[in-house]
Structure 1
Amino acid sequence: MTQAFTQQTTFSEPQGRAQLPTLPSGWPIGSYESYSEAQRAVDHLAGTDFPITDVTIVGVEPILVERIAGRMGWSKVLTSSALSGAMFGVFLGLVLSLLNPGAGLVPIIVGLVGGIGFNLLFGALGYASSKNKRGFISQSQLVARRYDVLAQPRNAEKGRALLADLAARSAFTH
């Protein structure tokens, strides 16, 4: 049996040796357009006496989606660098002031100025070294066209019946 996102070892394998990736096994008992629908189906199975450890959710036809969040320019690079440097510097200054209570606000101010300075320098160098090849900010996400719920053959028919019951109840509530 395969469980998504886990590394299982058997007693015959030496401890510490990573198991190679394998394709999931089982028969399809449901197919859904979104991961949340597949999760809802598995939650339904978990609420019954169904052996939930025999279930796997498989994303079919994975796609990398990159959503553009905005433009990237010198002003945005320097602003975000200064803000993140300020937060790190204040944190570091607070830690140092806790270690030396008699120092007052000096460690916090030094941490703030140092954090801003170093982050501005490294942010500017990083952006300049990319030669402005990427003029936007984005977030990447791996999604699938559909999500199949698989169960081991010994329980597949029972799983299909339970999910068909869920689908029938969902049709009446909408």
Structure 2
Amino acid sequence: MSNPHAQSVLAAAQFRLQFPQSLATYDDYATAQKTVDFLSDQGFPVENCMIVGTDLKQMERITGRLTTGRVAVHGAMSGLWFGLLVGILFSFFGTGNALAAIISTMVLGLLFGLIWSLVGYAMTGGRRDFSSVTQVVATRYEVLVEHKVAANARELLAKLPGALPNPFA
């Protein structure tokens, strides 16, 4: 069996540079990615680079109003799909009528999904009568490079079309 602590230490090591220096800071990820791609195209050892998102904020986009009817329909449809999946699996490994297994698990899934979603909605007590999606985004993206290749990276970055003059030259 694998050691979870050893795995987390190895994962953390992948996201470390020994002595990182800031190469550039951007307002969007695409520009930071373009910078690293440009360095890669120039033959720069990009394994010495890291893009770090900073100033994180959570955004929530409201997608609609929740009503008992909408909750019931979404719960029933979710249960129906899950029942279909289970029914197909049962039909592969069962010896009985495959169509009957699929239809019965779909009906049971529909009922379970319907009831479970309505109970969950009722338990909120009307405190959250809307649906939404959330995302954590960074407001700035910084390209870091190892200190031993920072000067080379700055020289190459000065050649990027539209780049500002190199303040470190």
TM-score range, shorter chain: 0.7 to 0.9
By how many angstroms is 1:113 displaced?
0.4
1:143 matched to 2:137 = yes
By how many angstroms is 1:98 displaced?
1.9
Q: Deviations over 1:88-122 (max 9, x none)?
A: 11111111122235414110110110000111111
State the TM-score, normalized to the length of structure 1. 0.79
Distance 1:81 1:151 in 2: 49
Distance 1:140 1:89 in 2: 28
1:63 matched to 2:57 = yes
Residue type matched to 2:162 in 1? A
Report percent identity of matched pairs.
Answer: 34
In the other structure, the counterpart of 2:67 is 73
Distance 1:60 1:167 in 2: 26
Distance 1:28 1:72 in 2: 46
Q: Structure 1: which 5+ residue stretches go unaligned?
A: 1-14, 170-174
By how many angstroms is 1:47 displaced?
2.1
Does the residue aligned with 2:160 lie in a helix, a strand or coil? helix
Q: Deviations over 1:105-145 (max 9, x none)?
A: 11011011000011111111111111121111111111122
Greater mean deviation of Cα atoms: 57-66 or 108-117: 57-66
Judge conservation of contact 1:90–1:109 (CA < 8 Å) in 2.
Answer: yes
1:117 matched to 2:94 = no
Does the residue aligned with 1:165 lie in a helix, a strand or coil? coil
Greater mean deviation of Cα atoms: 141-150 or 152-161: 152-161
By how many angstroms is 1:58 displaced?
1.2
In the other structure, the counterpart of 2:102 is 108
**1:146/1:104 CA distance change after superposition, 3 Å:** closer
Distance 1:39 1:31 in 2: 11
**1:168/1:17 CA distance change after superposition, 3 Å:** closer
By how many angstroms is 1:61 displaced?
1.1
1:130 matched to 2:124 = yes
In the other structure, the counterpart of 2:156 is 162
By how many angstroms is 1:155 displaced?
1.1
Distance 1:74 1:81 in 2: 10
Alignment match of 1:48 (pick from 42, 51, 74) = 42
Distance 2:64 2:160 in 1: 41
State the TM-score, normalized to the length of structure 2. 0.81
Greater mean deviation of Cα atoms: 18-27 or 35-44: 18-27
In the other structure, the counterpart of 2:30 is 36
1:16 matched to 2:6 = yes
Distance 1:154 1:105 in 2: 66
Aligned residues: 155
Runs of 4+ in 1 over 6 A off after TM superposition: 20-24
